[in-house]
Structure 1
Amino acid sequence: MRKDQMERDREYSEEELDGILESLELYHFQIDKPKKRQIDNCVESLYQYVPSKISFVERLGFIINEVKLELSYFNKFQLKWLVAIMIMFMVLVVTGGNKPETMFLSLAAVPTVIGFLSLNKSKGSKMLELELSLKRSWKNRMFTKLLINYGISLIILVIMGIWGLSNGVGTDIIKYLSMSLSIIGVLSIISLWVLFYSRGLVGSIVTILLWLTISGGPLYSTWYFSLLEKISTINYIVGSLMTTGLFIYCLIKLTKSDYDVTVQIVT
């Protein structure tokens, strides 16, 4: 054993080291250096490579596929509450004798708030872990869900507009449409922040109270509706554009983080 220790500790000459390396046959594992012409061709090809831009048609197709996928998740919770709240607002308008234009602010907001409630409900239903395991990004899911609900809201606005024209509302249709879009935009921004920082029962209650108070206000307060009517149409048009843009910006900003950040926020 002492002999082996002395053998390991002794210094080897350069000739001995060369002999050891040659016996290991390391030359079999050497990689030949590429020729200069090959290196130049590789560098030149990198300079010439230009990533292909995604066309508008491809982007549109991606959005359509995401919407189709989200529609397949449309559950009974959303449908049940969508129908229930819309019937409730219709009954209030008919029995209360309010002007039909008050329904712009009430009915048009219903699908969007249902979208927020369904996202809030996912934590209370122990669905957060499933959401984390999905390969779809949180940003895509949020965007497509709210896009669907915004689309339903716009359809309701068009129906209310046709109804308003048949009841002699006339040129005020544009004002009521822009008024509804402005208020929906403001409430959507607030609800989006509530959704990200308080998902679950508390977030759902806050969202419902906000939408019932501000959007459903004209149904039970003539003073509130008169106050809204005093604002000019052009201000509502500008407001609807600004709030929609701000909502999209907030949506992108809040969903830019990965799932891990969302889990840290939710307590």
Structure 2
Amino acid sequence: MNPVIEAVSRDLRAVLGKVRETGVPEHRVQRVENLLNALNAVRMPQVVTAELFRAYMYTVPLIKELEAGLQAGSGELEVYMLLDRIEEKLMGLGEAARRSYIKEKLQLSIPVLMSLASYALFTMAEPTPLNTASLLASLAGVLLFYINTFAGLLSVVAVAFSSALLSALMNELRIDVLMLEAMIAVSALLHIYIVRESRSTRYVDRVTRSLQSVDSLVASYLKPADAGSVASLLNTVISRRTGGIPELLRYKAAVMLMNGYSVEEVEKRLLEG
């Protein structure tokens, strides 16, 4: 699992266990867990991108704030509001992961596509058995790449090496073709190194330390929830409505948030009366 998603999943599941103990309805907690399960099912990039890291930085303060609020005895309305905001950030984290995965897949596919395009041109110019075989092998490499990135890149190196070796044995080796095959092979090897490095313990440890630094930074300035955002919401509603009992408005807001309304929807509906 991607270290960013693993950290979010671990911390949020621990906090949701504490939320259940406060008596929050199970369906409200389950909604967040369903989003978390959907996030874990998203295909993740090998490398933690800046976009994914930023999405983590937007998500973790809310999880820590919810945890601090539970420890400070925050009311159900504050808990509902934080759960609502966490849901939004989880969806944003999922979108960031999808975009990062697509971008990474496209970047890693460059050597594979270069190999396919080169052997297609070679076959069109000189439809020899060797060029045709190399083209078919490159096509198989493309299919293999979208099944297994590492294996697909490795096949590019194997095809380039085999083609150059057979050309030399058949006295058909051309320097320009050899140089192009060497460039493709080197490019594939560099991308293989990136994939291997992203799976290494050293890289995962480095990412984990970065995430822990973010957690420490959040913890250093985070104060227990004082319902500031809730008070702001209720004050806005009360100041704009001539009638209405504050306790009743608070109860209505709690019920609406419990049932999945966003903060903006709650404010709009309460103002409409």
Q: TM-score, normalised by structure 2?
A: 0.23
Higher helix proportion: 2
